[in-house]
Amino acid sequence: MTRPDAGYGRPARLWRALDRARPPLPRFRSPLRGPWLTSLLGLVLLVGLPIVVVTGLLDRVAYGAAPIPADVGFLQLPPFDWPTSPAWLFRLTQGTHVLLGLVLVPIVLAKLWSVAPKLVVWPPARSVTDALERATVLLLVGSILFEVVTGVLNIQYDYVFGFGFYAAHYVGAWVFTGALVAHVVLKLPLMVRGLRSRSLRAELRTPTSGSEDDPDSDLVATDPRPATISRRGALALIGGGSLLVAGLSVGQVLDGPLRGTALLLPRGRTTAAADGGPNDFPVNRTFVASGIDPAATGSAWRLELSGAGAVRLDRAALAALAQHTVALPIACVEGWSTEQSWTGVRLRDLAALAGVPEPVAAVVGSIEQGPFARAELHAGQVLHPDSLLALRVNGADLSPDHGFPARVVVPALPGVRCTKWVRTIEFRSVR
Ligand SMILES: Nc1nc2c(c(=O)[nH]1)N[C@H]1C(S)=C(S)[C@@H](COP(=O)(O)O)O[C@H]1N2
Ligand SMILES: [Mo]
């Protein structure tokens, strides 16, 4: 004989057992939570985060080929030649990536706060579709936190991760993008409905707001505490947090005394010579840190060009070639940037000297060993009339920290490829 509830017995018992096993979950009782606030924060992130992702992916293309950043297999974007014009292009894309990424952190945290009742539910999933939906949320939350933490650590004083950072942050960005697309597809109608449920204008005029939110939403507290802050106040707090972050970061892209205000980003504030002189601008790696033997940059230094033939030039011979002066930015992948006036020999003149007037690429070698030992430039970067092997900056010889005897500066080239302490340049006529 079968029992009448045979079909339901097992699941019902399972639910009861799960209910009994319910861990002591926190109760969320703020009356501010509800579809409207969550949707508003969601909308801001839906506009802002794709900009952070796209500028990040563009920076990756600008950066060029391995070894830094490391190979990422099938996730590699189709490479294209990063433009050389406008000269501030990388300054803009990377500055936006880092600044906007930081400014959105308070909003990401507020959004997570606003959906907290949905993040900790028991049982974790009630059906297969529910489980799938929750898996995308888990990936979304996990990847955004991962991107924030790795990004913030990387722009602090030193590379915390070595060069594993670039691959990790990049793969994390793709995980986030996939999860975001799924999340938007699933939640867009809810977001639109949530936004329509209140008027932003009315909310901004309301000094206190109680809990009169949609009682059907599982974001809304069932036993709310009295409000201690209005929705207007909450928005001011979140927006104020973002403004504060912006105010303490934006200095890293400004030249002059305002640079000192970038308190959250010490790397962009560290200058080599704090003397107000021509070489007093941010330095990435100092000469001492490079580990280069000082004798290697002294009178024994020669620039070695190769191409159709080999040419060796000492610094006096380089200085005797036609010199060009141009204002170009150094824009670091960590987000700081500066514009300086550089003087030196055009790379295309050096290419001609090496017997390769129409190179398809150039490989620049540094005296320094390690990840900066060589950097490849594409034809457009070599042939641009503003692309220089700089000997001087702001009218003075380069300081050891900024790459003496000679360094590369190329319009729109990421700072990381503007090799300092150059020793060799190989001009290639075939790829
Ligand atoms: N040889 C060498 N070149 C280098 C670096 C380096 O560490 N070693 N740092 C690069 C990075 S990441 C940046 S942002 C710029 C910074 O130039 P600066 O230190 O003169 O401001 O130099 C680039 N050239
Ligand atoms: Mo950099």
Beta-carbon neighbour count of residue 141 at 10 Å?
A: 18
Confidence (pLDDT) at 7 = 43
CA of 403, closest atom in ligand 1: 20
> CATH assignment of 287-428, given 3.40.50.970, 3.90.420.10, 3.40.50.300, 2.60.40.10?
3.90.420.10
Q: What is the pLDDT of residue 155?
A: 87
Cβ within 8 Å of residue 168, ≥6 positions away: 146, 150, 161
pLDDT score for 300: 96
Pseudo-torsion of CA 422, 256, 249, 266, nearest 10°? Answer: 50
Q: In angstroms, rounded to a whole number, what is the distance separating the alpha carbons of residues 8 and 391?
A: 81
User: CATH 3.90.420.10 in the chain, residues?
Assistant: 287-428
* DSSP designation for 271: B
Task: Report which bound ligand comes closest to the CA of 339.
Answer: 1
* 331 CA from centroid of ligand 2 (Å): 7
CB 388, CB 345: distance < 8 Å: yes
**pLDDT string in tens for the chain (431-residue length):** 334 444 445 678 888 888 888 888 888 999 899 999 999 999 999 999 999 999 999 998 898 765 556 677 878 887 789 999 999 999 999 999 999 999 999 999 999 999 999 998 888 888 899 999 999 999 999 999 999 999 998 888 666 666 688 889 999 999 999 999 999 999 999 999 999 999 999 888 887 665 556 667 889 888 888 888 889 999 999 999 999 999 999 999 999 889 889 988 877 777 667 788 999 999 989 999 999 999 999 999 999 999 999 999 999 999 999 999 999 999 998 899 999 999 999 999 999 999 999 999 999 999 999 889 999 999 999 999 999 999 999 999 999 999 999 999 999 999 999 999 999 999 999 87
For ligand 1, residues with CB inside 6 Å are: 282-285, 290, 330, 332, 366, 368, 372, 402-403, 415-416, 418-421
pTM over 0.95? The answer is no
Closest ligand 1 atom, residue 289 Cα: 7
Residue among 419, 349, 418, 356 nearest 384 (CA): 349
As a whole number of angstroms, the longest Cα–Cα distance in the chain is: 104
